[in-house]
Structure formats: C-alpha cells, structure tokens
Chains A and B, each alone.
Chain A
Amino acid sequence: MTQLTRRSLLAGAAALGAAAMLGGCAPQTLENDEQLSETGENAAEPVIEVKHTWCKMCGPARTHCSTLCTIKDGRWAHVEGNPEAGNNFGRGSKTLCAKGNAAMHTVYSPNRLLYPMKRVGEKGEGKFEQITWDEAINEIAAKLKEQKEQYGAESYGVLSPQFYAVLGTLGRRFLNVHGSPNYLHSAICNSQRMFSRLVTLGGPNHMGATNTEPQQLDKCKLLVVWGYNSENSAINQGNPNKRLDSQEGGMKVIDIRPMQEGLGSHADYWLPIIPGTDGALALAILNVIIGEDLYDHDFVENWCLGFDELAEHVKQFPPSWAAPITGIPEDRIVEVARVMGTTKPMGINIGNGIGDQSADSHWTVACVCLIEAITGNLGIAGGGGAGMVMPEPLIKTKPIDVLTDRLEASEEDIANGWMPGVAKLVGPETPRWFQTMETQESGPTTAYNKGIQSILTEKPYPLRCIFAQSSNPMSATRQPKTVAEALKKLDYYVVMDVAWNSSCDYADIVLPATTQYESADQFATKNSPAGTFIGINQVISEPMGECHSDWQYYLDLAVAMGYGDDFWNGDIDAMLSEQLDGSGISLDELREKGYIFVERTDGAKPTEPEYQNYEKMFASLPQGKVQCVNEWIGGKPNADDTGTIERLPVYKGAPESLTGTPDIAAEYPLVISDVHAYRLCNHSYYHDVPYLRELQPEPWVKINPATAQEYGIEDGDWMLIESPHGSIKMVARYFEAIQPSVLMTKRGWWEPCEELGLPGYDGLDGGSEVNVLYDDNMANYDGFTSSMAKQTLVKISKIEG
C-alpha cells in the first residue's frame, strides 16, 4: 500500500488538478479559440451549459446567494448571481461579491482532498495511507460503537464551524440518535447575541429574540453600526446596498469599529474604538442618556424592570471613565450619546465584533440592548425589529426533523429539571439550567473551545472522538498550541473537508468532501413579495477523486452504526423527497430545472407588523419587562458553575489591556485584534484561491504609519509580533484609519496558493496565525455565553533580512 505524506498527497492532488484542467483550455488560448471560431478558422465551438447552485463562498451549505454557473466544455468557467432568485437588492440582481466571483477555484484547487485516508504515522506527523470509503465508514462506526460502550455516547463531539446546515440538521439528528449532547458550537456566533438579546429584551425563543437592528431600514433615521461588518461578511446579502440607499434618503450612521471599513468610510460618525472595550463605551453612553434625561419615560415606567437601580449603577461609568479605556475622547462619547438619545427612530446593528469575541460580550450586548430599549426605539418602524410581514410562501417545504425526543434524559437531567442531555455536556456553552429548546438553536451545546480543552483537563471527562467537518480548530478558536496538544492526546479525530487543512495532520481518518458544486443534496427557498423561489444545487462538476457529499456521509455512517431506519436507510433522495413532500414540486423536476420561481398572483403584499406590542414582546421575561436588572440570569450559576452571573452590567475588559493590566502593558504596549470576517475569505478558509490571494498575498497586519515608523517598520516589512501567550510573523501594511495603539490582522493563512507560488503559513509559534497570541484560560471567558476575548497586548519589531 502506498504511503502518502502530506507533501506527496498534495503533489498527487496537483497532478489531478492539472489533468482536470486539460478538459478546458488555458485562459489565453480559449480567448484565441473564440476569436478564431468567429472568423470561421476553427469550427470547434465550446459546449456551453448553465446550471444552478447556491454559492458556498460565505460558508459550506450556505444558501444566501443563488448562482448561475457557466460550464464550458465540461469545466466550470464563470458564475453570476441568478436574477430570478431575488438575491441582494431583489429580483433582477445579478450581483455577487469578490469571493462569489472566484468560486470556481474551490472545485479545481490543487489542495483538494481526493480519497479517504488513514493515519499511519504519529499524530501531527501527517503520514497517511489511502483507504476505501467502506473501510473508512466501517472503521469510524466500529470506533464510535466501542467508545459508546466504554465511555458513553457523550464521549463523541462534533465541531460546528459556523452556521452549517449539514450539522444543524443531520449532524444534530445523528447526535440525538447516538445519544450525545456534545454539539461543539463555536461560541463565536450570532447565537451569542441572540442569547443576550433574549434574556434582556425577550422574544419567544432563540431565533425570535427581540431585535435592535432596524428591519425597515428605509424608515430609520439613525443607524448605529457596532462591531458589525456586513461589507466583509455579507456583502451580497442586502445590507450594504440597503444601508447606502437609506443614507441617500437622509439616514445618519454612527460606525463603531477599530478600523474605518468600506461602509465606515461613508459613515457620519466613526468611533475608532480600542478592540475589546465596547462594554465600557456602552456603559458610558447609558450614563449620558440616563444622566441627561434623554430616555423615554413612558417606556421606562411601564416596561423596564429595575431601571432606577440601573440608573444608579451606571453613575460609576461616566465618559471620563470610558475615554482612556476606549480611546474615544470624552466629548466625542458625549456627542454621540446625545445623538443616540435624541434621534428617533434609531436602530442598532450589533455585530460579532462586540457580541461574541470579548470577555464580557454578554454585558456589552445587554447594554446596547438597553440603549435601544430605554430610548423607546423597540418595535417601531425604522427602530429595532418591526420588519414588514411577508406574504405566505407559495412553495412550502419541510425542515429536516432532528429527532429531539431521541436524546434521553439522564437521572441528573431529571433531578434538576433540565432538558435531556444537558447534564452530560462536557463544557456547556450557556449554563446548563438555561439551556432549553426555546433558548437554544437546535438542542444542547458545548462550547467548541471548552470541548477541546476537556481532552487535556479530563474535566468533567475527556471527549474521546471529535468529528470536524468543514472546520479547522487550529484557526477557528483561541490558542492553536492548546488545540494541537489536545488533538495529539485525543483518542480519535476524524476530519472531513474539501481541501487539506492544518488540523488534518492530527487526524486518524481524513475524508474528502465534495464542494456543494459537485453534489445535488441541498435545496432552499427564498420568499419575496414577487413570489417564491426554490433552487437546488445541480452537479456543476463531477466529484473530484473519490469525494463524497457531507450529507451522504452522515447517512452512510448512520447505516453502518445500525441507525439506518432513522436515516432513510442511506437514501439521500428519500431524505430530500420527504422535505419536498406536499410542496407540489418533485425532486426529479427540481433537479432537472435547477430552480423554479412561482409568481405571486393573489395580489398579497407585505403587511405592517404589530408595532410596540410590548406585552407580547417581553412575555418570556421575568415580570414581562426589559431586564435593566437581570432577574432571569442574575445571581444564577455561570456556564462553568464556578460562580454566579451578575445582576447588573459589568465591564471586565480583555485578559490583557492597556488600562486593565498596566504591568503587562509596560512590556507589551500595543493592542492587537483580528477581523472576524473578511471579504476575501470565509473565516480562515480560501487563502488558496488565486483571484483572492493575489489581492492580498501575505498575512497582513494593519498598523498606523506613525506607530510603524517609531519601530523603523516600512510598509511591507515582516514584523515579529509577541504577546504574553505566543509570537507570530506578519507583514506590516500601513493603514491611517486605525488608532496608533492598535493593530488589526486576520486569521488563517495555512493554505498554500500553488498557482501563485505562495506558501501556507504555520499555525503555531513563529507562524502567522493570530490566535496564537490570545489567552485561552476558560476562567476569562464570558460567564454566560462562553465568548472568548480576541484581544491582547503585544510588542513588535522589524524582522531583518
């Protein structure tokens, strides 16, 4: 049997990539061919097909942007937004973002994994041998059965990369049938903000948590963009375009982010906050709004619980206190707080930047929610929430049932009155007592990072098998050094991905996944006033090598585990047909056409929502009121059961910060953080895509030129960046629109880009992965939502030569 190292594996993949390219032509030749054919000198017209898929460039199994793919002589050559679908600004929109325009490469990348492999060397060594799919599935099933017998089903956990439909449906269903609650949710997610909004502002459930963002943006007069990054994370999903339209209609924008980003450059007020200090700014804004009597008395008297106590509490946090912490001058804080307190309707976009990436994310979001609430902006047109109500969809499909009732309650669950499975969570993301089917997205969750750390601490027990699908834990969470140590110790690590990632070296089994352009296993709908659109992924390219779809993997594993009856006995078409049952559309018809648009002919139009129905909005909250003092979570055990959650907002700050830890700041005088999403990649992925990588070839760190010059660092110089936790090398890029004390960078960079001859970078000390610099002491995580700080202090120096 051939032994493959990572290097030879990649070389093999490159060979296949080259062979696949022979189907088409080199770009220039193709253009020449076309010209020749026009003049009749070459009769060979290319064979053109156009097929439908959902773009995956914002994440695997995503269904935001419907695309039409042009296939030329069997090779996928071009892509554009499907004007029928109602993408971005509606029907007719053919737009796509930069990533979407470069999607073709993800199929043809030389980094593709092509066949199942089994580890033959030591963990971390990256030596594998090729095995068959049957061998892989049977071995994984045998291991899971053995571990279930020996350690209990809860010893199996799955990593959740981001919102990922495969895991949210089949993955959860598999966990429930198998008997494990350990869905390792990233804790770097909109879910964190939904938890915080739910317990502060109410809402029927997790997905329905009361919103601060204006869902009628055209009626909004003041938009506060707080750590919210749609020009990087969701460019083609409507928000950036709609925001610019509203600004043309007179809406003002306050943008609170460390860097002046693309949309931030069009804002009326830009607040270049020091990363990780948003909680202090939010408290100071509450201080001004309450202290200067800019709040809505009627709302506060009728719908707020503990307002007077909050008012007293925030007196400790005047702008003069927040200014040195946040880097925003005192008078600027006052100015902006007054604008927020006096402009109505106001909506607030609460982004990842403040909601799930700092040590006190919960209280930061809670304070921002309270600003929106006490200014009387909830549930009004152009204020928080209050979106128009769309007419009923004309195509009704069914979701995949995740079989929640199959997860058994343990004795401890029953004794505590907890949701089944909660007692066995290895590292609860939110407190065990808090987790219910109403508060959670799809069932119980462990925090991703805590689940990994359980392997090392063995507290309360170690996970024995982790399945990582489309997620690279070496870059997706804090401190890859800890992750590497844990993966080395882990009994069994299974990776399934479309391309090699830097955690594969630690895997026992590596499985090659199709991109969603090589399988037809997912459909989705979009409902609009014009009608309802349904589209399925068509096979744009036959699967590379022996790649299988992520959906099919779960069905095949379930069958091997003896769970076949709950997984359509492995028949993916049966699964899809069940979802389409009653829709009036058959799977065959949908696969054949790719997409169908059913026009609305009944004249139904969007209707006004129920405005200011606070009784309904706050019904799930203690005493049916906004929690200025939190009676739902305050005084109750935190997620780790190591203390209690505060009743009133607190500001903690990052584990290392300029004002919070002056001793550390004396040696490490600069703050570093990284962008959560970036428009040329999907989280830490896609640095191998040539059209994207050529725009930013090297791992960059943005630095104010004034700061760089103090250290003798020129634009383009390699810099050594050292924190108390690790050191990395990055390329300095001058950027004027950032605080001189702050550096901003981007994670990932493990992927080489062979076409451009650019390397991938190591993810440990001495490499270029920013997570190496951050603290991963669980005691510093947010006690309610498990969010982890991505800010620390660093010193920098130029790397000579």
Chain B
Amino acid sequence: MAEQYGFFVDTSRCIKCWACVVACKQWHEIEAGTVSRRNVQETVTGTFPEVKRHFESLSCMHCENPLCLANCPQGAISKRDEDGVVVVDEELCIGCKTCSSACPFDVPQYVEIEGGGFKMDKCDTCLSIGREDDQPHCVLTCPVQALHFGPLSEMEAAAAEKGGARMEGETTPSVFVS
C-alpha cells in the first residue's frame, strides 16, 4: 500500500461548533434525522468550578487493521491500496450489521433503503462525491482549522507539534489527536 491517509483532530482548537457535522451531511445529501457520519464528542473532566470541557470531531478511523473489514461476511468492506481509506461496496452490503458489533468505535451506521432493508453508512473521506483540494468537506469547512486530513506522516508531525499522539486501539486507527 502507498502511504496511509488519515485525520489529525486538534482538540486545542475545536470549539464544538458542529460545522464539520453539518458539512458532511449536506455534501453527502444525508437526510436529517438519519445517520451522522461525523460527530463531535465532548468529554467533561472535574466538577464545578474546577471543570474543563474537551471536544473531538470524529468519524471513521480508517484503521490499519479494520475489524469491520475482517468480519464482514459479504466482503463488502475493503481498504484502498492508494491511501488505506476503508470503503464499503453498497452493492455487496446486505445491512447485516456485523460490522457494527466488530467496530470498537461504533462507527458503522445504517440507512433504510427503499423497499426495505439497510445499508451500512460511514465516512469515505468524500471519495464518492469528489474531493476539492484533495480534502474532505469536513476539513474544508472547519472555521477554526481544528481538523486536518492527509498522509499519516504529515498528520503525525502536525500532532507532535501540539503534543498529540495516535489514537490507541487494537485496530490501529489512522487518527492523531492532540
């Protein structure tokens, strides 16, 4: 595989404005009230008045060893040779939700399809709709430049400057967090 691509989530800048969440939906024409491919997680530490809020914008981690892929009975999930992005073949997906229980980050969601049944739905780094400037729309829209996407070595370097590190997990997520 050529170099793995991934995200750098700069929590020193995220302000939980939800721009990334909504940008993802409008560009992928996701119906409101259904799935949300990207979400801003909030962690609160301490109690008032010694309290601190932290925000992280997360979507699919495009793991190096994706358990969704390993467990998919249909072979519908693959990891691209070019950039390691994990993608789903809608034609092959039968919506069995095995991937949901396999994924340690609870990423796969399911949309109901016409005529019944489900299809798995998750971030594809905007490959299906065409990227601009080689960037997904969540990154392009971030008003405070807290979200970055690119070759993982670049993400690692950017994260290191902010004292960040790679997200931990047996699947080796392709996400750095400061």
Contact = CB atoms under 8 A, between A and B. Distances in A.
Majority DSSP secondary structure for residues of A touching B? mixed
Contacts of B32: 690-691, 693-694, 755-756
A27 B30 contact: yes
B26 A736 contact: no
Interface string B25-52: 1111111110000000000101111011
B113 interface: yes
A240 B15 contact: yes
B19 interface: yes
Given A35-B90, A262-B15, A101 B142 contact: no
A102 B111 contact: no
Interface in A664-685: 679-680
A737 B51 contact: yes
Nearest to B49: A272
Interface residues of A, number: 56
A79 B26 contact: yes
B145 interface: yes
A691 B25 contact: yes
A740 interface: yes
B55 interface: yes
Interface string B7-18: 000001111111
B51 A260 contact: yes
A545 B47 CA distance: 53
B19 A101 contact: yes
Nearest to B121: A28
B21 A98 contact: yes
B82 interface: no
B138 to A, nearest CB: 10
- Identify the interface centre among A28, A79, A88, A241: most chain B CB within 10 Å of its CB: A28
Contacts of A244: 12-13, 144-145
A411 interface: no
A523 to B, nearest CB: 24
Interface in A78-108: 78-81, 88-89, 94-98, 100-102, 104
Given A262-B17, A755-B32, A97 B26 contact: no
Contacts of A265: 15, 52-55
Nearest to A25: B29
B27 A78 contact: yes
B141 interface: yes
Contacts of B21: 98, 695
Contacts of B113: 28
Interface in A109-154: none
Contacts of A691: 22, 25-26, 32
A636 interface: no
A692 interface: yes
B29 A89 contact: no
A690 B33 contact: yes
Contacts of B22: 98, 101-102, 691-692
B143 A235 contact: yes
A96 B53 contact: no
Interface string B79-103: 0000000000010000000000000
A96 B140 CA distance: 9
A312 to B, nearest CB: 33
A736 B31 CA distance: 32
Given A694-B32, A736-B48, A737-B51, A80 B141 contact: yes
Nearest to B30: A27
Interface of A: 26-32, 34-35, 77-81, 88-89, 94-98, 100-102, 104, 231, 235-236, 240-241, 244, 248, 260-263, 265-266, 272, 679-680, 690-695, 704, 706, 736-740, 755-756
7 contacts: A28-B31, A28-B114, A31-B28, A98-B21, A101-B23, A262-B15, A265-B55
* Closest 4 pairs between A and B when the two form their complex, measured CB to CB: A262-B15, A690-B32, A27-B29, A101-B22
Interface of B: 12-19, 21-23, 25-33, 44, 46-49, 51-55, 90, 111, 113-114, 128-129, 132-133, 137, 140-145
